Structure 1
């Protein structure tokens, strides 16, 4: 069953929303049009839709049931005159088959109860575990943490919340043979739980192997010239101008003009000699010079960046000064070497000498090495301090566990007992769920073999004929298995010619069959919840009371527990329908299984008021009947006026009956005349001042006409309404 409905952030429901709780077997929600009734029915029929993401439907024992909703959406979805899905019922099943299904359903209900019982046991034991854990945390926090906070707070870092502290204490294993001494631990705590020194980072020494390799390249001392066995080579070597000639090659263009003397002295043979002189070896050596320079500059940047990174380190002042001096010396050395290398690249034939930075770097590394020795000594102290502190912290936790061992043991035993119970209940629950699945399968298979759509056809047609709907009927479809069609008496389809009232009535009859069975033969006996949203739209007064009578029969069966419908929720805006439906033939005494609400909309926002078992709908029409029941305390004028207003309200306004139509409902001339006399007496007495003659005949005429007044309801087939309003229980008459 549904236990609670929460609706917010949809339609006329704001972010605060509305909560409908205390939901019982039968629930009546009254509200004017537009106040949010259909939103409730749509939610219950489609609560998985995204637009209802802020809404909730809470179920008893967290067990959801199938919800059948009758509203405008149902009518639009299910009513097509030429094709209506069939309803499977057990109408064709034998007594033995029904008994077998009912036996399996009873077994299924027992299993459900057992599952819920075990689920409740699990939840109860989990609650006990949670309470035990909460109590243990409070005791440990108050009696242990707070008592030791001042002395051992530094040891509790990381566990200074109730949850983490309690978990830490429970997790300590008391496996030692000897006990720890509190006095000795407190003395150690004074020394070791102060502010600890921090470890320092050392430095790697500068590596100069790569830069030394570049500095020692033989290329720097090599005279890079062209090929010697070329005719022009002797002259170039003799003059020693190979670098000058190499530079001049860049200015040789096509043609024979010399770029130097501007005369036509350059021929192809000369160009060939130049190309042969500056051969591939020459080019490789020049490229090596450039590559070596690039590598040298990279190594320089690494060394300079390293020196800059340690400038802010906590060196002594004299060390900082020495490092700064060495850095400047190193920068100058790099600068001079770069100049030398650039000259060599520009004049490959020139020999250069690269000044080594090794001595400078060695001095820097010596300073770093001394500082690393100091850092290592400091860190060794820190390491020993941490080890001692760790050992102390372990001893502190062990002491706490030792001093509270009995409390911890009792707590663990309780939790273990609850956990064992949860495991046993969980195993039982799984066993029952497996049995439940088996029986549900058996019921579905049995339903499939004994169900049929024909009983629903017969029942709908029986009701149509009973209430005067003779111009159409429902029949199994000739085009589609397990479907219906609506036909005229001559067999033709109605083809959308039904009135709105007829459509409403037949779809409601269809819904009544649906909630008794299913559109799927395997689910005929499935438990369900039904939601009815204003089923009397477009109906005249006669059909209104037919619908209320049919639905009241369902409600009575739900209250008696004779059907697989577990809960009914009715939403309506019609006062008369609400009163007819909610009258249970017992003087409207409160029933604990029937609850009432009223929906209202104020400033565009829906709110709800809960009335419990007290029916809040009381109209002026109902008060008229109350006066009629109390006729002995009222004057004849009052009684006459009450009868007139009841007949006007019920038959003339709601039912649209005229006086002659009411009179003609009586079976013979004599009774018709009595009715005519009653109407005349009512109209005369309620609109005229009574004279003395009239007063003399008061008592006798009042009783006689009271009986005729009742007959009007009887002959118009509305005696149920009369009995309801007079508080007459037909079963006890």
Structure 2
């Protein structure tokens, strides 16, 4: 069914928003029901509204409605003006456009208008019936739990289940990917990616799955983070060059250490005591040519001390000592130079090269330490020989590795080249570091959510959903093919002449028109049939508007039985079918709608079956509206708790009104909806005044009591006393009904009947409060008198306004 219509622009409807407009007094939104009655004056927009439904039927907009915009919302989804070709509602509309499209002869009787033929199912053919029955049995039904339709429902459930499972799993994974991409990558200033979507993170995950990718170690991550903070460094000037002199120093020292010398006349005590010999040698420099007294013991030196000592310390030993001093000085210089061989620092290098440089620098320092120890040993050996010139010293082989030192030098020089090169590639290296860190992040995330396993699971679910979807599609096709075969078989039973006969039957049975008929005549080719309107067997022209309306509507009703409509759950819209009809025909039109559309069919179990899915009827005629209130009202079931159900009326009344150039849809006011006639309305207003306490909640009936009482008594007493002697005495009927003996009550009635319903003679009456107790008293008096006079009529009046019958 269709629930509501929102119309942005369509003819006289502009900016209609259903939920803002169609509300009851409690401001609750009301929707279309199964049966819908719409009332509107001429030119209010009734036909315009019907054209929206007609557009659903024809699946195209009417002429001159280009640029229209509307949305029809119902149980089969919403349909906009752009969806007319694809919706699933079966709609049939009777309106002016239906007549123009199908019965153009009625519109243009003098210029060759035609009446389109249609067929309904003709005489039964047992062979075809059996074939149709076999196919229908094969098709089965959901309710019968058998056949292709039942199997299709199961396949549909399986398709929906597998589709939902796949969709849920896929959306769950994609939500995780979107969340990580947006919150952890895009918003992280480290990665510098202003745009990073689910597609980007999927590509990154694919990159981490390729051969050759390895996750970053914590140390590597730390190194790349450090690189990102690194600013460009100046180039490192020069290279490291280390020339080791130990070998040349050793070549100089070895002859000195191994040269043997002897004194001219040795002093045995000195030869035996090298320390003493050194002490004496050092003392010579302090005493020669300076004093003749020993600076240590203060004793006079022997007169031949210098000759004895010169014979012991010969010129040869002096030359050796001098050579040793020179060698020691050279070795000392080399030792001093070792500390300054590596002048580079880690701060000159970029992060990655700094670590390697510091490692190589440390290794170089350790190797140079060994080299320095070899120099120290050489120096010590030279000093040992100098301190004991007459004793030879043997050198041991050096411990340092010159090749190792050279390797460290080359490594440092290579790092200098690399670091200098990084200045030119720093930005590129930073970009690569960012990519590596982002991929490391994505890799950890994918591992945490078991991405590969989830993708495999979703692929399996997709295969299952595709399989179930294919099975459902194949089942649908099989059903469509079977239904098409049924249509083909039924087409063989179609009889267009039966369509004309059905129209004539409706014209005759419901309207008594046996003179005007719709004849099915052979076409010029004898193979086709055409419809023609006849009067007394001859082609009819100059049909009245009323006759055109009767023929058109009977044609519409009969066409509901054609193969394209019969058996379908139809949404039927009937727009003002009583144009140019008199009172009798209006009633018969109502009877036709009630009998063939609205009246339910009884099922075997006593429940009602309806011949329509939803019914809309619009009119401008108040008499027809009065009849429409008598239509069979469909019921709908509502839950009542504990597995039980209750039913309620499934109908609603609406009003279409036009303010200026714009039409609107509203709920029908109660004065039109609830009362069949004004007479019933007036009785209800008087009944409301029987209890004076009711004035506290609703005072309107009390203010209008005088007018309402006067009009009600005029109508009631006219039918009670259609003739009275003095036609100029309106009070005569009141006295006849209420009795001459009750003068006081009758006078009070007459006062209220006249004074309270007129202000012209007593204008001050409009400036005084209403006398509530007096009104209630009169209301009860009148009602009691009617009850006493005719209990059956009184209770019928109560029933018409929804009040319980009066007893006693």
TM-score, reference length from structure 2: 0.50
For residues 317-396 of structure 1, what are the structure 2 equivalents within 5 Å? Answer: 386=428, 389-390=431-432, 392-396=434-438
**1:494 lines up with 2:540 in the alignment:** yes
Cα distance 1:55–1:548, how it changes in 2: closer, same or farther (>3 A)? Answer: same
Q: Could you say which residue in structure 2 is the equivalent of 1:485?
A: 532
The offset of 1:646, in angstroms, is 8.7
Where does residue 624 of structure 2 map in the other structure? 577
Q: C-alpha displacement at 1:492, in angstroms? A: 0.9
Structure 1 residue 54 corresponds to structure 2 residue 90: no
Q: Is 1:144 equivalent to 2:199 in the alignment?
A: no
C-alpha distance 401-551 of structure 1, shift in aligned 2 (>3 A): farther
Partner of 2:449, secondary structure, is helix
* Aligned residues: CA RMSD: 5.2
* CA drift at 1:177: 8.4
Higher helix content, 1 or 2:
1
Cα distance, 1:495 vs structure 2: 1.2
Give CA-to-partner distance per residue, 1:181-205, whole Å, 9 cap, x none. Answer: 24522431342477999xxxxxxxx
The residue that corresponds to 1:219 in the other structure is none
Q: Deviations over 1:441-487 (max 9, x none)?
A: 11211221222234433333233223322331222224463332222
> Residue 90 of structure 1 aligns with which residue?
121
Separation in 2, partners of 1:177, 1:416: 24
CA offsets per residue over residues 634-653 of structure 1, 9 Å max, x none? 99x999975974999xxxxx
After the TM superposition, which residues 518-529 of structure 1 pair with which residues of structure 2 at under 5 Å, given as runs? 518=563, 525=567, 528-529=570-571
Partner residue of 1:26 out of 35, 38, 41: 35
Q: Which residue pairs with 2:191 in the alignment?
A: 153
Asked if 2 retains the 8 angstrom alpha-carbon contact of 1:170 and 1:408, the reply is no
- Separation in 1 of the partners of 2:148 and 2:54? 25
2:223 aligned to 187, 200, 208, which one? 187
**Residue 12 of structure 1 aligns with which residue?**
12
Which residue of 1 is the match for residue 560 of structure 2? 515
Q: Report how far residue 587 of structure 1 moved.
A: 11
Report the CA distance between 1:578 and its aligned residue: 3.7
Offset at 1:434?
Answer: 0.7
Corresponding residue to 1:72 among 78, 88, 96:
96
For 2:513 and 2:790, locate their aligned partners in 1 and report how far apart those are by CA, in whole Å. Answer: 37
Q: Cα offset for 1:503?
A: 1.0
Cα separation, 1, equivalents of 2:722 and 2:124: 53
- Find the aligned partners of 1:458 and 1:706 in 2 and give their Cα distance: 45
Match for 2:484 among 441, 444, 461? Answer: 441
SS in structure 2 opposite 1:153? coil
Distance in 1 (alpha carbons) for counterparts of 2:471 and 2:682: 61
Task: Give 1:27 shift.
Answer: 3.4
Q: Is residue 427 of structure 1 aligned with residue 470 of structure 2?
A: yes
Q: SS of the counterpart of 1:32?
A: coil
Q: Say whether 1:566 aligns with 2:600.
A: no
Q: CA deviation at 1:84?
A: 2.2
Among 527, 533, 549, which residue is 1:504 paired with?
549
- Residue 470 of structure 1 aligns to a residue whose secondary structure is coil
Task: Label 1:704 to 1:393 Cα distance change in 2 as closer, same or farther (>3 A).
Answer: closer
Match of residue 472, structure 1, among 516, 519, 525? 516
Q: Equivalent residues in 2 for 1:278-293 (5 A)?
A: none
Quote the Cα distance in structure 2 between the aligned partners of 1:108 and 1:695.
82
Moved more, 568-577 or 687-696: 687-696
CA distance in 2: counterparts of 1:128 and 1:440, whole angstroms: 35
Tell me the distance in 2 between the aligned counterparts of 1:108 and 1:615.
49
Give the direction of change, closer, same or farther, for the CA distance of 1:681–1:443 in structure 2 (3 Å limit). Answer: farther
Asked if the contact 2:208–2:439 (Cα under 8 Å) also holds between the matched residues in 1, the reply is: no
Partner of 1:288: none
The CA deviation at 1:131 is 5.0
Deviations 1:575-622 (A, max 9, x none): 4434533545569999464344433333422333368xx988426654
* Gap change, CA 1:36 and 1:425, over 3 Å in 2: farther
Residue in 2 that maps onto 1:318? none
Contact 1:136 1:166 in 2 (8 A): no
Aligned residue-pair number: 497
Q: 2:679 aligns with which of 620, 624, 643?
A: 624
SS at match of 1:539: coil
Instruction: Tell me, in whole angstroms, the C-alpha distance in 2 between the residues paired with 1:453 and 1:647.
Output: 56
* 2:503–2:554 Cα contact (<8 Å) kept: yes
Q: Spell out, residue by residue over 1:138-181, the C-alpha distance to the aligned partner (whole angstroms, 9 max, x if none).
A: 642576337x714x222x3542x5x4555456545446785422
Q: 1:413 to 1:90 in 2, by over 3 A?
A: same
Change (3 A) 1:118 1:512: farther
Query: Post-superposition shift, 1:380?
Result: 9.5
* 1:541 aligns to 2:572 (yes or no): no
Please state how far the C-alpha of 1:70 moved relative to its aligned partner: 0.8
- Does the 8 Å contact 1:137/1:166 carry over to 2? yes
2:651 counterpart (584, 594, 598): 594
Unaligned stretches of 5+ residues in structure 1: 198-376, 649-675, 711-721, 729-733
Which deviates more, 393-402 or 12-21?
Answer: 12-21
Greater CA drift, 392-401 or 95-104: 95-104
Matched, 1:43 2:52: yes
| Structure ID, larger Rg | 2
Offset at 1:28? 3.4
**CA–CA distance in structure 2, aligned partners of residues 624 and 587 of structure 1:** 27
Equivalents in 2 of 1:67, 1:723: separation in Å? 40
Secondary structure at the counterpart of residue 180 of structure 1: coil
Displacement of 1:11: 1.6
In 1, the alpha carbon distance for the partners of 2:554 and 2:148 equals 29
Question: Which residue is equivalent to 1:299?
Answer: none
Question: Structure 2 vs 1, CA of residues 579 and 629 (structure 1 numbering), >3 Å: closer, same or farther?
Answer: same
- Residue number in structure 2 paired with 1:552: 594
- State which drifts further: 456-465 or 87-96: 87-96
Is residue 140–residue 148 contact of structure 2 (8 Å, CA) maintained in 1? Answer: yes
SS in 1 for 2:487: helix
Quick one: distance in 1 between partners of 2:493 and 2:655? 43
**What SS does structure 2 have at the residue aligned with 1:438?**
helix
Q: Give secondary structure in 2 for the equivalent of 1:85.
A: coil
Note the C-alpha offset of 1:112.
7.8
Q: Do 1:517 and 1:525's aligned partners in 2 also have CA atoms closer than 8 Å?
A: no
Q: Distance in 2 between matches of 1:583 and 1:184?
A: 88
Q: Match of 1:205? A: none
